[in-house]
Amino acid sequence: MHELTPFVTLLTVHVIALLSPGPDFALVVQNAGRYGRQTGVTIALGLSLGILLHSILSITGASLLIREQPALFAMLQAAGGGYLLWLGIGATKSALELLWRKSESHASPSPAQQLIGNRKQALAKGFTTNILNPKALVFFLSLLSTLVPADMSVAGKATAISLLWVTSFLWFATLAWLLTGQRLQQKIQQWTPYIDGLCGLLFVSIGSMILLRLVLPA
């Protein structure tokens, strides 16, 4: 039972973090609602692979080296903040275009047509969104350094990383699956401009805060 305690605590903290709305959550909601189940699940896989890499870097000490190098960590923050800002601007533009098409009664591309381009990009978009998030680096570094003992066996550390990865994928994939049920999908399609707008606002807010902290350090 004592050996299970770190794993139970690790999973509990991680699940609470997964349930908190953030860039990963918004990315799944926005893209699963618009492009369908396959794209949503693929993005979930990309996000979970980003979490897997963060976990590996944290448990091997690589993340600590990045964190302790101010210039390198600042570069990561700038890249992450800029990417989230770019996602937010894109989502906002998409929301405005959809509202314009709706008001002008312009036909928008069918979900099947939209899916073709996004299917190839979904995995990369999910992975990039997570791996470039500097908050994720700090979170997993703190989580694993605190809850995984340094003297834990290699098998134990591999188990901890695997649990984080599998839990992340199952959560985001389940979210994508639920959002793409037939009835809910029809309603979501009607609300797509507003979902894009809210997700865009979230991306822009988080990205801007990250960049502002670089320019105006406390």
How many distinct structural domains can be found in the chain?
Answer: 1
Q: Please, which residues have CB within 8 angstroms of residue 178's CB and are 6 or more apart in sequence?
A: 184
What are the pLDDT digits (tens) for 106-122? 444 444 444 434 677 89
For 84, the domain range is: 2-215
Residues 6+ apart with CB under 8 A from 36: 111, 115, 180, 185
CB 73 within 8 A of CB 174: no
Structure confidence by residue, pLDDT tens digits, 123-179: 999 999 999 998 899 899 888 888 888 788 889 899 999 999 999 999 999 999 988
Average pLDDT over residues 64-87: 88
- pTM equals 0.82
First to last CA, the chain: 44
